[in-house]
Structure 1
Amino acid sequence: EFKRPILIAEDDCRTTSLLSTYLEREGFSTITAHDGRAALELARRHDPIFVILDLMLPHVDGWEVCKEVRRSSDVPILILSARGEAHERILGFSLGADDYVVKPFSPGEVVARVKTILRRMEPGASRRKEQLLSCRELVLDLEKRKVILHGHVISLTPSEYKLLHVLMAAAGRIFLREELLNHLYPNGEAVCDRVIDVHIGNLRQKIEDDLSKPRYILTARGLGYQFADGDEMMAGNG
């Protein structure tokens, strides 16, 4: 069982109860908030392992809760929303969400997505023979799931970490947006490919010194993205 709880921030009591029941069957503990202020307080007090966040919360809406939580934590966030338009999804991902589920939804599907994202975060979940990937001042420690830039650990969301790992592990190779989507959402969830652009933009803000001249994640115009290739890209056993 998981010691840290999953926070469900949702103003509909029936939805909250249903999600809690399904998650607890899988061994998770849950805490619930029915408005945004309570959600932020519970997030601070309990350090949840995961946040399921409805957008239409009273007092403080889900957008603001997502933004506030992401300022101090890289906890995975799954957004629930009745709005499925592409621009709404893109805004959610740009604020740091890891997944976006449109209502009405299957509770079983939400639980499956939660478990998939948490699996990505497990130490050794994507173990390779090489335990370190490095390029210039950027180091990806696969064993400890840490990203180090200029000697300092930087905080990435699970989606950002996964993207960086995929790109660094195949430096020089151009990945189509659809390929990167498949790595992030292997169950074939319907997500528009612009979501990748949002995640890449967030990732670049954290690892690039000059956003106008990226050194690590390069754009292959009309195709997708690639990680910089060259003599400085190394893989080792640590």
Structure 2
Amino acid sequence: MSKDFAVIGLGRFGGSICRELSQEGMQVLAIDSDEDRVNEYKNIAYHAVIADSTDEDTLREIGIKNFDHVIVAIGENIQASILTTVILTDIGIKKITVKAQNDYHEKILNKIGVDQVVHPERDMGRRLAHNIISNNILDYLELSDEHSIVEVKAGKKMVGKSLIDLDIRANFGCNIVAIKRGRDINVSPSAEDALREDDILIVIGADKDISRFERRLVIDDD
């Protein structure tokens, strides 16, 4: 089902979301107080307007209540971000996603009742750190404050051994939820099959358990 999105704040983060949603065929309302930024997205978004998102009357006039999902991607102005979010909540927006600048900002947003809070810089920093640690760690996605999912290339210590041999769940508390082998993805991998050199394991678990798994079976291979 088609959804209508509004993106408030057209900096690097908000602008990127606006572009991607538009390329996927979504109708996007792009909003920013900066005229140059709005002009940049006039031919990208379904509609782009210059507006002060901290003014409730203005948001109502542009029909913000008609949008299924509003993303608040305001940059450094935390006060504007919070005030905008409060107004959107009062208006009754179905789903609100907000970019947080820091942990204190996130705490306030959670108290307001935001559906989703994102930390793009922090999350990208964590992903990059894991990639830097080892070439075998291909991707890292935070699921919560304490749990994540990672893509790991089978290292030398894993190749030729089965999941039974490695017993990753018992030894590290992690779960192998899928194995990529070329273009094939096996979401119910056999515990008896030997892992191959180019296999990619999708691992889910607590951060502390994943870190132990990486140190023991992944990082030491490089």
Same topology, TM > 0.5: no
User: Shorter-chain TM-score: what band?
Assistant: 0.3 to 0.5
TM-score (norm 2): 0.40
By relative contact order (CA 8 Å, sep 6+), the higher-ranking structure is 1
TM-score (norm 1): 0.38
Higher percent of residues as strand:
2
Structure index of larger Rg = 2
